[in-house]
Amino acid sequence: MREAVYQLPWPPSVNGYWRAVCRGKRPAQILSERGRNFRLHAEQAIVFQGVREIRGDTEVLIVLHAPTRRRYDLDNYGKAILDVLTHTGVIEDDSQIVRLVMEKGERVKDGRADVRLIERGTDGN
C-alpha cells in the first residue's frame, strides 16, 4: 500500500478557480489568475515535498485550515486540490479516487490544505 502526504497552500474556491471567456461562438472555461497562482505554488510544494505516484484505487483525505474565521463550504475547495494532484502526476486521474474525505481544521496564518493519499490497490481492497 503506497501513501503520500502533502501540505499545500490554501486553494481557491471553485467559484474563483475558473473564469468564463468567450472564444468564437461558444463560451469556454479557463483557469482564473487565482487558479493559476494556486496551481503554480501547489506544484512547487508537491515537487519540494517529493512527487510520489499513486496508482490504482485511492482514498484522499483533506483537512482545510482556513486563513480567516470566515465561514466557507468544504465542497467548494476540493476541485483545485484534485486537479493539481493530477497535473503533477501524483494521481493519474480523479476517477481513481474511491473515497474522498474533507474536514475543517484549525485556522492558520495564510491557510493551507493537508492532503493524504492512500492507495488501496487496483481491486478496491
Q: For residue 20, what pLDDT is reported? A: 64
Task: Show the cell assigned to 93.
Answer: 486521474
CATH assignment at residue 40: 3.30.1330.70
Residues of the chain with pLDDT under 70: 17-21, 23-24, 122-125
Q: How many domains does the chain have?
A: 1
What range does the domain containing 45 cover?
3-121
How many Å apart are CA 11 and CA 1, to the nearest integer? 28
Q: What does the longest C-alpha to C-alpha distance in the chain come to?
A: 48
11-44: per-residue pLDDT in tens?
998 877 666 667 667 777 777 889 999 999 999 9
What lies within 8 Å, CB to CB, of 89 at 6+ separation is: 51, 53
Q: For residue 32, what pLDDT is reported? A: 85
